[in-house]
Amino acid sequence: MPVAASHRVAREPFTVTVAGKKRTFPTGTKILIPMLLGMLSEDFWGTTAYEFNPQRDNLCPFHMGFHSVGDRHAGRICPGKNLAIEMLTDVIISVGKARRSYLSQKSENIKV
């Protein structure tokens, strides 16, 4: 999952319990779903869900975070990574061409 949240728009009214109180939301309500809260599910992770444990069973295949470090990414890669690399390459090529053109013009002006 390369994003920290997902979203939906309710197609019908729905009721949920928030802080022990039932609340009803109308059709068209925009819903933000923070994926990282899934990392705190005691139903899935057990009673130690709120404890830091990098050796936790099934952490890699079920980790819902995205924060990659260097080449370590837990199998999740930013969907815009290739686009960003291609754009940066194009910018560097353009700057290189402009620099060579400028230096070429400058050297021609010196010779004259």
- Tell me if 10 sits within 8 A of 28, measured CB to CB: yes
Report the distance separating Cα 71 and Cα 77, nearest Å: 9
- Tell me if 39 sits within 8 A of 65, measured CB to CB: yes
Q: Is residue 33 pLDDT above 50, yes or no?
A: yes
pLDDT 10s digits, 10-24: 999 999 999 999 999
Q: Is residue 37 pLDDT above 60, yes or no?
A: yes
Beta bridge partners, 5, equal 34
* Average pLDDT of the residues of the chain: 82
Instruction: Please tell me the pTM assigned to this model.
Output: 0.41
pLDDT of residue 68: 52
Least trusted range by pLDDT, from 5-9, 34-38, 48-52, 70-74: 70-74
Q: Which phi and psi angles does 102 have, rounded to 5°?
A: -65, -45
Least trusted range by pLDDT, from 25-34, 35-44, 94-103: 35-44
pLDDT 10s digits, 68-106: 555 556 556 677 788 999 999 999 999 999 999 888 887
| SS3 category, 104 | helix
pLDDT of residue 1: 41
- Residue 19 CB-density burial (10 A; 0-12 exposed, 13-18 middle, 19+ buried): exposed
